[in-house]
Amino acid sequence: MADLVVRNALLRGADKTVDIVIDQGRIAALEPKFGGQASTEVDAAGGLVLPSFTDPHIHLDKVLISEVVRDNVSGNLEEAIAIIWEKKKRYTLDDIMGRAGRTVQWAVLNGTTRLCSHVDVDTVGGLMPLKGVLAAREKCKDIADLRIVAFPQEGIVQDEGCKELMWKAMEMGADIVGGMPFNEMTSDDSKKHLDICFEIAKEHDAPLDMHVDETDNPNARTLEEYATRAIKNGFVGRVTAGHTCALSAYDDHHAAKVIGLVKRAQMNMITNPATNLMLQGRLDIGNIRRGLTRVKELLAAGVNVAYGQDCVKDTFYPTFGQCDLLEVGLLCAHAVQLSMPNEIETLMDMPTVNASRMFEVADYGIAAGNTADLVVLAEKSPQEAFRTHLPRPAVIKGGRIVARSSITRELVRG
């Protein structure tokens, strides 16, 4: 007897449904009609079944913080960072763990079972944010896999003492070395920031994932510095860049050169459409930029691009966010103008195939022998999934159902 069978599952690109048989955490077989028995059955009813989503970029230490701090009146990134200082000094373990845990539960309900969280490491909050998210990771380990990026949000050179905290964070259990090289006083300091991050990554044999040029300023040039260092320091394929908004502010010639370097470095590119549509381009008059990186050009150049939730009700993105990657994908489709059938397929690749690549999942995908991490959708095609993004009937992690949703909708007349 199998542990679990997902019946009538429509796989992407298929026109007939299959039954997915799951045993001991793994996909045992894909059969047109499974004749055997299983302890638990899920009827996908012809809905699309995908590998569960991966959110490559979120800030679990800061989620839901907008409920407890003052409003961001300018709406920009600098004020969003400053508002948090007061709160950050008074952080408690329970507070961070609670907010992070609630958000991870939303993510799982929406079909995401892997999240990569940046966590602030600086002299304002010390290592408390990391301790909180580490505790949340432990608490949520049965429903989601979390990877943690040590993120020096306040800069490393200009925040004296941060460098030591970054080393400590990696020893305490952070998996990935983060960075925010543009947030330094001079471009020389930005380069030092990058060098320090590479030094830590080398010592810990860890990949890097940085916040890069999250600004409309076309003079921000740390993406090319980052890519060049990856190529020169033997980190090809082990680097990720989030945001990269300035890439959209460059002239086309320079942008093409930088995309070439990004490609050579085999850098993963993460766009965060929800937050950056809200934060960037606020000083533009007339031709208002939408703040996202050059998603279409990067995809056309063959770069691995995914999108992340980034923020949930914090000071950067105070009002919205529910950790639903189909919602983020819908935003991305509008901002980047992805609407043709092949573009919608790409839009669905981004939180599945593309994001899982940076998460380094070894046995990824719906095939016999692979770990059974699945999301059952109510819709029958990627296009319908982005259009209606209904509650996910079931989410399966390691062969076990970890979330179920149902919805009843009816017109009531008379």
Q: How far apart are the first and last CA of the chain?
A: 49
Whole-number Å distance between alpha carbons of 126 and 320: 28
Q: Which is nearer to Zn ion, 318 or 382 (CB)?
A: 318
Nearest one of 122, 169, 114, 165 to 140, comparing CA atoms: 114
Smallest separation (angstroms) from Zn ion to the CB of 3: 37
Q: Which is nearer to Zn ion, 122 or 310 (CB)?
A: 310
Q: Is residue 214 annotated as part of the catalytic site, yes or no?
A: yes
Whole-number Å distance between alpha carbons of 56 and 307: 7
Smallest separation (angstroms) from Zn ion to the CB of 209: 10
Three-class SS of residue 82? helix
C-alpha to C-alpha distances, 134 to 118, 147, 375, nearest whole angstrom = 12, 9, 25
With b for 16 or more beta-carbon neighbours within 10 A and e for fewer, the 335-368 pattern comes to bbebeeeeebebbbbbbbbbbbbbbebeebbbee
Whole-number Å distance between alpha carbons of 217 and 213: 8
Q: Which is nearer to Zn ion, 209 or 379 (CB)?
A: 209
Q: Are 119 and 159 in contact (CB under 8 A)?
A: no
Radius of gyration for the alpha carbons in the chain, expressed in angstroms and rounded: 21
Q: Are 314 and 63 in contact (CB under 8 A)?
A: yes
Q: Which is nearer to Zn ion, 38 or 358 (CB)?
A: 358
Smallest separation (angstroms) from Zn ion to the CB of 106: 18
What is 325-372 written as a DSSP string? HHHHHHHHHHHHT--SHHHHHHHHHIIIIIHHHHHT-TT-SSSTTSB-
Whole-number Å distance between alpha carbons of 348 and 201: 31
Q: Which is nearer to Zn ion, 20 or 269 (CB)?
A: 269
**Count of Cβ atoms closer than 10 Å to residue 276 Cβ:** 29
C-alpha to C-alpha distances, 195 to 48, 97, 133, 198, 299, nearest whole angstrom = 45, 32, 26, 5, 28
Q: Which is nearer to Zn ion, 310 or 327 (CB)?
A: 310
Could you say which of 154, 184, 214, 225 is catalytic?
214
Smallest separation (angstroms) from Zn ion to the CB of 297: 21
Whole-number Å distance between alpha carbons of 4 and 325: 25
Smallest separation (angstroms) from Zn ion to the CB of 91: 18
Smallest separation (angstroms) from Zn ion to the CB of 275: 7
What does the binding site for Zn ion look like in residue numbers (CB under 5 A)?
310
Smallest separation (angstroms) from Zn ion to the CB of 118: 6
Q: Which is nearer to Zn ion, 55 or 310 (CB)?
A: 310
Q: Which is nearer to Zn ion, 281 or 382 (CB)?
A: 281
**Phi, psi (5° rounding) for residue 118?**
-75, 140
Smallest separation (angstroms) from Zn ion to the CB of 86: 20
- Chain mean position to CA 272: 8
Give the residue at shortest CB distance from Zn ion.
Answer: 310
Catalytic residue set: 214
